[in-house]
Chain A
Amino acid sequence: MTWKQLFSSSIGRKFTMGFTGIFLILFLIVHAGLNACIFLNDHGDTFEAAAHFMSHNWIMRFLEIGLFAGLITHIIQGLMLWMQNNKARPVQYQFNQPSKNSKWYSRSMGILGTLLLLFLVMHLSHFYVQTKMSLYGFAPEKTPADGSHNVLFYEMKEVFSHNWIVALYLIGVISLFWHLFHGFQSAFQTLGLHHKKYSPLINKAGLIYAIIICLLFALMPVSMFMGWIA
Chain B
Amino acid sequence: MEHYHMNLTLKVWRQKNNAAQGKLESYQVKDISSEMSFLEMFDVLNEQLIAEGKEPIAFDHDCREGICGMCSMYINGQAHGPWQKNTTCQLHMRAFKDGDTIVVEPWRSKAFPVIKDLVVDRSSFDRVIQAGGYISVNTGNAVDANAIPIDKKDADDAFMAAACIGCGACVATCKNGSAMLFVGAKVSQLSLLPQGHPERETRVLNMVAQMDKEGFGNCTNTYACEAECPKGISVANIARLNAEFLKAGLKSE
Contacting A95 at CB < 8 Å: which of B103, B177, B216, B253?
Answer: B103
- Chain B CB within 10 A, most for which of A13, A81, A96, A97: A96
Residue from B13, B215, B238, B249 in contact with A12 in the complex, judged by beta carbons closer than 8 Å: B249
Interface residues of B in 169-185 (CB under 8 A from A): 173, 175-178, 180
Which A residues between 44 and 72 are near B, CB-CB below 8 angstroms?
A: none
- Let me know if A9 is at the binding interface, CB within 8 A: yes
User: Among the listed stretches B32-40, B129-137, B191-199, B220-228, which one makes contact with chain A, having 4 or more residues with CB under 8 Å of it?
Assistant: B220-228
Binds A, one of B47-55, B87-95, B204-212: B204-212
Contact with A along B97-116 (1 / 0, CB 8 A): 00000010100111100000
Q: How many residues of B contact A (CB 8 A)?
A: 53
Known contacts being A15-B246, A95-B103, A106-B222, is A89 close to B110, with CB within 8 Å? yes
Residue A100 at the chain B interface, CB threshold 8 Å: yes
Q: Which residues of A contact B241 (CB under 8 A)?
A: 11
Q: Which of A88, A96, A107, A189 contacts B217 (CB 8 A)?
A: A88
B86 proximal to A (CB < 8 A)? no
Which residue of B108, B208, B209, B235 is within 8 Å of A194 (Cβ)?
A: B235
Complex Cα distance, B175 from A109, in Å, reads 12
The yes or no answer to A186 lying at the interface (CB within 8 A) is yes
A-side contacts of B211, CB under 8 Å: 10
Q: How many A-B residue pairs have CB under 8 A?
A: 142
Q: Name which residue of chain A comes closest to B239, CB basis.
A: A194
A93-B77 CB under 8 A given contacts A98-B224, A107-B175: yes
> Count of A residues near B, CB < 8 Å?
41
- Asked whether A88 lies within 8 Å of B176 as measured between CB atoms, the reply is yes
* CB proximity to A under 8 Å, residues B148-195: 173, 175-178, 180
Q: Give chain B residues whose Cβ lies under 8 Å from the Cβ of A9.
A: 208-209, 212, 245, 249
Interface presence of A103 (CB below 8 A): yes
Closest to B201 in A: A1
**Minimum C-beta distance from A183 to chain B (A):** 9
Known A-B contacts A94-B103, A189-B242; A102 and B224 likewise in contact (beta carbons under 8 Å): yes
B242 touches A102 (CB 8 A): no
B24 contacts the other chain (CB 8 A): yes
A102: chain B residues within 8 A (beta carbon): 175, 222-224, 227
Which B residues touch A90, using CB under 8 A? Answer: 110
Q: Does B243 contact A (CB under 8 A)?
A: yes
Instruction: Indicate whether A89 sits within 8 Å of B217 (C-beta atoms), given known contacts A6-B249, A190-B242.
Output: yes
A101 touches B108 (CB 8 A): no
Contacting residues, chain A, for B248 (C-beta < 8 A):
1
Q: A10-B212, A191-B242 are in contact. Are A85 and B176 (CB under 8 A)?
A: yes
CB of B250 closer than 8 Å to a CB of A: yes
- In the complex, given contacts A94-B105, A109-B220, what are 15 additional A-B residue pairs having Cβ atoms less than 8 angstroms apart? A11-B242, A14-B219, A84-B218, A85-B175, A94-B13, A95-B11, A98-B224, A100-B77, A100-B78, A106-B223, A191-B242, A192-B240, A192-B242, A192-B244, A194-B238
Give residues in A with beta carbon < 8 Å to B: 1, 5-6, 9-15, 81, 84-85, 87-98, 100-103, 106-107, 109, 182, 185-186, 189-194
Q: 30 pairs across A/B with beta carbons < 8 Å? A: A9-B212, A10-B208, A10-B217, A11-B242, A14-B219, A85-B176, A85-B177, A85-B178, A85-B217, A88-B177, A89-B109, A90-B110, A93-B105, A95-B11, A95-B103, A98-B175, A102-B175, A102-B227, A103-B222, A106-B222, A106-B223, A185-B221, A186-B221, A190-B219, A191-B243, A191-B246, A192-B239, A192-B246, A193-B243, A194-B236
Residues of B within 8 A of A (CB): 11, 13, 24, 74, 76-78, 82, 103, 105, 108-111, 173, 175-178, 180, 205, 208-209, 211-212, 215-224, 227-228, 235-236, 238-246, 248-250, 252-253
